[in-house]
Structure 1
Amino acid sequence: MRLALLAMAIGAFGIGTTEFVIMGLLPEVSADLHVSESTAGNLIAGYAIGVVIGAPLLTVLSTRLPRRGALLLFMGMFAVGNLLTALAPEFGAVLGFRVLTGLPHGAYFGAAAVAAAQLAEPGRRARNVARVFLGLTIANIVGVPVGTWLGQELGWRATFGVVAAIGLVAVAGIALCVPRLAKPEGVRLRHELTGLGNRQVVLGLLTIVLGCSGVFAVYTYIAPTMKALADYTEAGVTGVLALFGVGMTLGSLIGGRMADRALRPSVYGTLASLALVLLAFSFLARNPWTAALAVLLLGMACFATATVIQVFLMVKAEHAPTLTSASHHAAFNLANAIGAWIGGAAIGAGLGYGAPALAGAAMAGFGLSLALAAGRLDRPRPQHAAGEDPGPPEADLVSAGSGSAR
Structure 2
Amino acid sequence: MKTDLSRGWRTHAAVLAFGTFAVGTDGFVVAGILPEIARSLDVSVAAAGQLVTVFSIAYAVLAPVLATLTAGWSRRVVLPAGLALFAVGNVITALAPSYALVLVSRAVAAGGASLYAATASATAAAIAGDERRGRAIAIVMLGLTSSLALGAPLGTAVGRRSAGGPRCGWSRPWPWSWCRSSRSACPTWAAARPAAGGSGSPRSPTGGCSACSPPRSSRSPASTCRTRT
Q: What's the Cα RMSD here?
A: 1.7
2:34·2:49 contact (CA, 8 Å) conserved in 1?
Answer: yes
For 2:125, give the aligned amino acid: A
CA distance in 1, matches of 2:45, 2:116: 30
Deviation at 1:183, TM superposition (A): 4.5
Report if the CA contact (8 A) 2:51-2:103 is conserved. yes
Aligned with residue 86 of structure 2, among 78, 82, 85: 78
Q: Is residue 175 of structure 1 aligned with residue 183 of structure 2? A: no
Q: Quick check: 30-39 or 175-184, which moved more?
A: 175-184
Of residues 120, 141, 153 in structure 2, which corresponds to 1:133? Answer: 141
Find out whether 1:160 has 2:184 as its counterpart: no
Q: Distance in 1 between matches of 2:91 and 2:196?
A: 32
Matched, 1:24 2:32: yes
Greater CA drift, 168-177 or 74-83: 168-177
1:54, 1:105 within 8 Å by CA — same for their partners in 2? no
Give the partner amino acid of 1:181: A
Return closer, same or farther for 1:181/1:121 CA change in 2, 3 Å cut-off: closer
Query: What is the alpha-carbon distance in structure 1 between the residues aligned to residue 196 and residue 159 of structure 2?
Result: 42
Conservation of the 8 A alpha-carbon contact between 1:67 and 1:180: no
Match for 2:43: what amino acid? V
Residues 362-381 of structure 1: pairs in structure 2 closer than 5 A: none
Counterpart position of 1:222: none
- How does 1:21-170 map onto structure 2 within 5 Å? 21-154=29-162, 155-170=169-184
Residue 121 of structure 1 and its aligned partner are, at CA, apart by: 3.5
Cα distance between partner residues in 1 of 2:64 and 2:113: 11
| Whole-angstrom CA distance in 2 between matches of 1:25 and 1:41 | 10
SS in 2 for 1:41: helix
1:117 deviates by: 0.7
Pairwise CA distance, 1:115? 0.6
Partners of 1:32 and 1:8 in 2: how far apart?
34
- Conservation of the 8 A alpha-carbon contact between 2:28 and 2:152: yes
The one-letter code of the counterpart of 1:110 is: A
- What corresponds to 2:217 in structure 1? none
Normalised by the size of structure 2, how large is the TM-score? 0.76
**What is the identity percentage for the equivalent residue pairs of Structure 1 and Structure 2?**
33
- Quick one: structure 1 residues 6 and 33, their matched pair in 2 at CA, closer, same or farther if it must change by over 3 Å? same
2:18 paired residue among 10, 13, 24: 10
Correspondence 1:270-289 to 2 at 5 A: none
Structure 2: unaligned runs, 5 residues or longer: 1-8, 163-168, 199-211, 213-229
Give the superposition deviation at 1:181: 1.9
- 2:215 is matched with none
Per-residue deviation at 1:67? Answer: 1.3
1:16 positional shift: 0.8
**Matched residue type, 1:178:** A
